[in-house]
Amino acid sequence: MELFEAILSRRSVRRYAPDPIPPEVAGRLLEAATWAPSGGNIQPWQFVVTSDPGQIEELKSVSPGMFGRPRLVVACCVDRRRAEERSGPGGLHIATLDVAMATQNLLLAAHGLGLGACAILSFHPAAVQELLGCPGWVVPTLLVAAGYPEAETPRPSRRPLEEVTHHGAWGRRETPGERGAGS
């Protein structure tokens, strides 16, 4: 799939078919995640993966934002210890951004491999830590639920580009080229 097409056609998928995700496919997702950029290349992430249906049910019970019956869940975690050791007190903020970048890679890779996935923030971090046996310094930041999509997912709207883009300065709506062309 062409990259731009992949970016535009990725959706948050919340209904999954019963087919399991083969381990090698899951491996590719994690590989993609670890090739995300990170501040200072510190890579302050850890991924806890499960495809065990019983464990996924338990995770769902403390994750109100997780819907359907995902076949795979990846907890994308900040390794606080690594972040703070390498970047000092500001490390946590950078690490959170890094984990978000890795998660987006994972979502795009899932889409590229024909899977449907959804990033989830509505969960109780301490409860997820408990269920996955994470040490205190490994903090789940986003969960990714994945499975083969059961159906097509409708495309939600986006704010128009003109509303969110400023050229050169806040509030300047047209590109310098356009201004030149008009004068």
Partner 1 sequence: MKHDEAVRRIHMLLCFMASSARGLFGEPRVYGPFRLLDAMTRLIDALEELDLDDPYFHEVRDQIDRFKFKVMEDEAAFIEGIDALVKGLASRLRENREARE
Ligand X SMILES: Cc1cc2nc3c(=O)[nH]c(=O)nc-3n(C[C@H](O)[C@H](O)[C@H](O)COP(=O)(O)O)c2cc1C
In the complex, which residues of this chain contact partner 1 (CB under 8 A)?
Answer: 14, 57-58, 60-65, 67, 122-124, 127, 156-157
**Which lies closer to partner 1 via its Cβ, residue 41 or residue 157?**
157
- Report the distance separating Cα 183 and Cα 171, nearest Å: 20
Question: Applying CB under 6 A, which of residues 18, 156, 168, 177 lies at the interface with ligand X?
Answer: 156
Contact 48, 134 (CB under 8 A): yes
Kindly state the number of chain residues that form the binding site for ligand X, as judged by CB under 6 A.
11
Q: How far is the CB of 97 from ligand X (least distance, A)?
A: 12
Binding partner selected for residue 119 from partner 1, ligand X, none, CB under the kind-specific 5 to 8 Å limit: ligand X
Is 60 a binding residue for ligand X by CB under 6 A? The answer is no
**Number of helices (H), then strands (E), in the chain:** 8, 4
Q: What is the DSSP string of 102-147?
A: HHHHHHHHHHHTT-EEEEE--S-HHHHHHHHT--TTEEEEEEEEEE
- Contact residues: ligand X, CB under 6 A: 11-12, 14, 65, 67, 118-122, 156
